[in-house]
Amino acid sequence: MLRLLARQGTRQITRCKALRPIAIRHKHIPSVPKTPAIQINNQGKSNGFDPIVLNTERLVELPKIDLGDYVEAFRNGQFSGMVVGQKGTSGGLQQLTLLLRNGKTTIIRSDSVAYCLKGFASSQQVSQTVTEPTNWKDVDADGLLQNIPSAYSRAIQHYQRTLTMSKGASHQGLTQLYRQFSKSDTQTEVSLDQLAAAAFKSDTPTELQRHVTFLHLVSDNIHFIPTRDVRGSNNWMLRSEIECERLTRIIDSIRGRDASYTGFLSRMKTLVTFYQTHADPVLGTFSRTAIELAPSVTNALTESDKEYINFILDWIKSPKVIVDSPYEVFVPNMLKAFKCYDQLFYDRHLAIRFLKEVGMFKPWDNVGLLEDAKKAEEFFWSKQSQESDKKMKAYTAAFLSDQNMGAQDRYASIRHDFGDLAVYTIDDPSAKEIDDGVSIEHIPGDKSAWLHMHIADPTTYIQPTDELARLTQQKAQTLYLPERHFPMLPEELSSKKFSLGSTAHTNKDGSQYALTFSTRIDMKGNLLDYKVRPSLVKNVIKVYYDDLDDMLKPAAAITYDPLVDLTKSFSHPSSDAFALKDSEKQTRKSTVPENAKKDLFDIFQMAQKHSVNRVTNGAINFTKPSLVIEILPEPLDLPQIQFTSPNYVSHLPAVRVTLDKSAFSPARKMVAETMIIGGRIASQFAHAHNIPLPFRAQAWNPDATNAQCRLREELLASRDPISGVVGTQDMAKYMSILPPSTVTTKSNQPHVIMGISDGYTRATSPLRRYMDMVVHWQLKSHLLGEQLPFSSTRLQALSSSILNREKQLSLLQQRGIQFWVLSLLDRMRVDGFTDRMEWNCIVNMPNRNALTELGGTMDVATGTLLELGIRGRIDRLERNLEVGEVVKVRISSLEPVTGRINFELI
C-alpha cells in the first residue's frame, strides 16, 4: 500500500536516503533545489554525444519592474500606464502604482503584468513631451514617486495613440500570424520576437512593433495563449487549428442560444438538482438506492451535452495565465444560466463543484492536477506519455528476453567480485526499487574498516545514447503522488531486473551487477581511503527499517523535538481500514538475521562517527513535522480528463495521516549517512581524476551583514553537539540566512550545511534520478579509459534543464500532499472535528498586509500546524506575531483544490 512521506514540511539538511522533501517509503527522492548557480570548468573529454536539453515549462525569474517603466497589466480588466511607485511584497512580488492616461493612479501587483517596456520615461518620445526634470529618487516610504509632472499623462496618451495607429496600419500582417505559425492538431510555442518579426517583416522588430504585436495577441484569445511566465519568456502558445474550430463553434452556439445549448442548460439543471437532493453535502457520496435512481436523469444526456461539459472542463484544465481566455468570459455565464447556484463569484471553484455534481469528477479527485498537467506530460494524460509508455514496454520486453539476458557485460574486465560478503538492503516492506545496499569488511588488527555502498547498476544495460536513456531524461526522476507513483524507468526493470535483491537479474553464478563506492573509515569517522568499482554482489539480505530500529534504539541517542508529537494520527472514515496492515507489522518476524547483528551494529557505529565528524565541521540538521499519508485502496486512479458519462459513488477511499518518524529512526539515519559517504567518495574520485560531474555545493554568504553573521553564530551554537539538530522553534528564526545550494562542475567545493569541505555529489539513486545515471556513466567511462559522454559544457546545459524539471515535479508532489491533507480535514467537518479542534501553530512569517477577496485589506501571518506539518495563513490578526512563536489556532477555512488553508487565533 502506498505510504507517502511529505518532506515539504520536514527537512533534514543532509539530503539523502530517508531525509528528503517528499518520500514514498522508497528512498532518495530529490529535494526542491534552490535556483542553481551553475559554474563551469572545461574539464574532461567528450565523445560528441549531445544530450537533449528538455523543452519543459520554464521556471523563469521575472525581471524587476522599475519606476518609469510602461506596463500592460490584467487584473479585473486591462490597465496600461507608467510605473510611478513600486515596493517589494511577499513571495518576491512587487506592489506597483500606475499612472494612467487620465492622470489617475491605480495599484496592481507585478504578477498581473504581462508586458513591460523598460525605460519608457527616458525614451526620446516621452522626453519631447516631458521637459520638466524628474527626481526618480524622491520616493516616500511606500516607494511612491513624489512630484510627478502632469506632462507624463500626456506622454502616455500620445504613446497609446501611436500604438493604436500602428496596430491599424499593420492589421493585415497581424491577422496572418496565426496562419503562419499554427499547426492542425498540436499547440505551437512561438516567441513574441518571432511573431513581431513576421508581422512587420523585419529581422529586428522595434519595441513599438513588439508592443503592437503583443496587443494583437491579447485581443485574439481564441488563437493565442500567453505562457505562465510570459513577461519573462515572452513566449506565446498557439492553439491547434482543430481546437480553434471547436472553440469557435461552441462559442457561437452559446452566443446564439441555439436549441442544443438551451437543452443542455435544462438537462444540467435536472442533473445538478438530482445531485443536490441525494448526495451527502460534505462527502459527495450517494446511497445505493440513489445510485440506482441515477440513470433516470443521466441517460438523457446527449453528445452535444458532453461537448459543453468538456468546454467547462477545459477551463479547469487550462493553466491560470494573466490574460483572460474565452473560458473566463463564457463559462461563468453558463454557470449562472443553470440557475442552480446563488454565488457571489462564478469562478473556477464553482466550475469544479459543477463538474463534481454532474459526475465528471469523483469526490476525492485532485482536480488541481489537471491545471498542472503540462508539468507531468511525460508521465500521464498526453500523447507524449502514451508514446513513451509504448516504447518503454518494448524495451522492457527486449531486456527480459532470453537473448538480451545473456548480453555481454562491457564492464566485466573491471568488475570487483565481492563473493559471499553480506550486502544489506535496508528499506520498508513496501519498497520496490531497491537501489542501494551496504557492507562492512573488517581489517584484522586495525580499528578501521571498509564500508562498501553498493548501488544498483542500470547503466550496465542502458547507454547514454540509447532511446531509453532519452525517455528517462525527459522524465528526470520518478514522480511520487499520493494516489500512485510513476517510475522513471519501466517498473518491471526498476523494481526487478535492475533492483538489488531477490527479484533482480542474476548471472549464472547468482551474482548481481552493482556500482560500489568503498571507503576505509576510522573510529573518528575520517575517510582514509576510497575506491570506485563496478562490482558483483551475491549475498543480498533484505532488512526492514522498523526491525533494525528495534535492534539499534537501545544504543542510539535520539534527539526528539518537544514541539512534535509523533503519537497522533488522523483518519477517515476510520482507522479500521488500516487494521490489517497494522496487525501484519506487529506479528511479522524480524528480518534482522542473528548472524547479521554485529555487522549492522558496526555499520551503525561507523555511520554515527561520520555524522559526528560532519557536525564538528559545521553540519546543521533540522526537522519540521512532516506527514505520512496512507490511502486505501491503492493505487488510486487519477481524475478523468474527458467527460463521457456521469459517475457517482457510494463510498470514499480510506485516508490516514500520521507524522513521519523517520527523522528519529536510527536505521534510516544510518542508511542516509552511508549514502552521504557514497556521494563524498564519488566526488573525491571525480576530483582526483578531473571528471566533470554535477557537484552539489553550498557556501555561506561572504558579503553577509554583521547582523546575519551574528545569527549564523547563534545558529551554529544552538545545534545539538552530537546530532547537529536545531529545534523547530529555533530554526524558524534562522531560515532566512541559510545559503542557497548550487550545482557546479567545479569539484572539491564545500557544502557547509552538510559539514562537507571536500565536495559532494548525488550518485546513489540511479533507479529514480536521471542525474545519478549521468554520474554513473561518467565514472564508468573513465574507469574503462573511454571518452566521457558529457563534457562540462554539455553537463551545464543538462543540469540546468533537469534541475528545473526536478523543481517542477517536487512542487507537484507537494501540492498533491497538501490536497489530500486538506481533503481529510474537509471530510472530518462531518463530525464537527475541524470546528472543535485546537491546533498548535508555529509562526514562519510575521505580520504583513494582505488583500481580502472583496478588495479590502487585513493583517495576516504565515504558520505551520505542528500536528500536521502543513502551512497556512493566520488571518485577521489583532496583535503582532513573532517568527518562531507558537500559538493556538482553529481552522477557519480550507480549499483542498487550491491547497489553501486559513487559521484564526484562539
Element (H, E) at 164: helix 151-169
Those residues with Cβ within 8 angstroms of residue 264's Cβ, 6 or more apart along the chain or in another chain: 302, 304, 305, 308
pLDDT at 59 over 60: no
| 34 in any annotated domain | no
What is the percent of the chain with per-residue pLDDT over 70, rounded to a whole number? 92
890: Cβ–Cβ under 8 A, 6 or more apart, which residues? Answer: 834, 835, 837, 838, 839, 903, 904, 906
30 pLDDT band, cuts 50/70/90, is very low
Any domain includes 235: no
Among candidate residues 809, 829, 847, the one where a domain is terminated: 809
What count of residues does the chain have? 906
Whether residues 428 and 302 share a domain: the answer is: no
In percent, the amount of the chain with pLDDT more than 90 equals 73
Give the end of a domain, one of 809, 836, 867: 809
Which cell goes with 225? 495563449
Both 539 and 476 in one domain: the answer is: yes
**pLDDT of 523 higher than 90:** no
Q: Which of 161-175, 498-512, 566-580 has the highest mean pLDDT?
A: 161-175
Radius of gyration of the chain from its Cα atoms, rounded to whole angstroms: 30
Residue closest to 845 by CA, chosen among 834, 857, 859, 825: 859
Q: What is the pLDDT of residue 3?
A: 36
Say how far apart CA 123 and CA 69 lie, in whole Å: 10
Q: Is residue 16 part of a domain?
A: no
- Are residues 547 and 657 both part of a single domain? yes
- Model confidence over 338-370: pLDDT tens digits? 999 998 889 999 999 999 999 999 999 999 999
The one-letter amino acid at 651: H
- Over the stretch 745-767, which tens digit does the pLDDT of each residue have? 999 999 999 999 999 999 999 99
Greater pLDDT, 834 or 83 = 83
Reading across the β-sheet that carries 22-23, which strands appear in turn?
Answer: 22-23, 3-6, 627-632, 654-659, 569-572
* 146: nearest Cα among 198, 188, 99: 99
Strand partners, 804: none
Instruction: Give the N- to C-terminal CA distance of the chain in Å, as an integer.
Output: 38
The mean-pLDDT minimum among 38-52, 251-265, 419-433 falls in 38-52
Residue 42, in any domain of the structure: no
The answer to whether residue 39 sits within a structural domain is no
* Residue 318 pLDDT: 87
Using pLDDT thresholds of 50, 70 and 90, give the confidence band for residue 307. very high
Strand partners, 483: none
Mean pLDDT for 485-491 is: 93
> Domain ends where: 747, 774, 809?
809
Is 172 found in the same domain as 76?
A: yes
Report DSSP letters for 190-231, one per residue.
EEHHHHHHHHHT-SS--HHHHHHHHHHHHH-TTTEEE-TTHH
The pTM of this model reads 0.86
Above 80 in pLDDT, residue 40? no
Total domains, the chain: 4
User: Both 538 and 590 in a single domain?
Assistant: yes
In the chain, what's the furthest Cα-to-Cα distance? 92
* Nearest alpha-carbon partner for 370 in 314, 315, 317, 309: 317
437-439-444 Cα angle (round to 5): 175
Q: With a cut of 80, say whether residue 408 has pLDDT above it.
A: no
Q: Which of 807, 870, 762, 796 is nearest to 479 (CA)?
A: 807
Whole-number Å distance between alpha carbons of 657 and 472: 32
**pLDDT value at residue 576:** 86
The pLDDT of residue 404: 52
Query: How large is the average pLDDT for residues 287-310?
Result: 95
In this prediction, residue 324 carries a pLDDT of 87
Task: Give the pairing of strands 569-572 and 512-521.
Answer: unpaired
Q: If you search the block for the grid coordinates 519501466, which residue do you land on?
A: 490
- Return the bridge partners of 455, or none: 436, 515
Q: Report d(CA 710, CA 161) in Å as an integer.
A: 56
Q: What is the pLDDT of residues 698-731, one digit of tens each?
A: 999 998 889 899 999 999 999 999 999 999 999 9
850-902: per-residue pLDDT in tens? 877 666 778 999 999 999 999 999 998 999 999 999 999 999 999 999 999 99
**Residue 23 pLDDT exceeds 60:** no
- pLDDT per residue as tens digits for the range 670-696: 999 999 999 999 999 999 999 999 999
Q: Are residues 209 and 245 in the same domain?
A: no
The H or E element containing residue 262 is helix 259-278
A 10 A CB-CB count for 768 gives 25
**Do 725 and 666 belong to one domain?**
yes
14: pLDDT strictly greater than 70 = no
More confident residue, 20 or 687: 687
260 and 149 inside one domain: no
Q: Is position 528 within any domain?
A: yes
> What pLDDT sits at residue 1?
35
DSSP states along 40-78 = ----S---S--PPPP-PPP---PPPP-TT-EEEEESSSE
Q: Which tens digit of pLDDT belongs to each residue from 78-102?
A: 999 999 999 887 667 899 999 999 9
Average pLDDT over residues 147-174: 96
Higher pLDDT, 27 or 332: 332
Q: Are residues 167 and 117 in the same domain?
A: yes
Instruction: Answer yes or no: is 735 within a domain.
Output: yes
More confident site: 622 or 289: 289
Q: Where in the sequence is the domain holding 839, given as residue range(s)?
A: 818-905
* CA pair distance 892, 904, nearest whole angstrom: 6
**Is residue 788 located within the same domain as residue 877?**
no
Does one domain contain both 765 and 718? yes
* Structure confidence at residue 60 (pLDDT): 54
Residue 99 lies in a domain: yes
In the sheet that holds 188-191, the strands lie side by side as: 188-191, 235-238, 224-226
Residue 752, classed as helix, strand or coil, is helix
Task: Please indicate, yes or no, whether residues 93 and 219 belong to a single structural domain of this protein.
Answer: yes
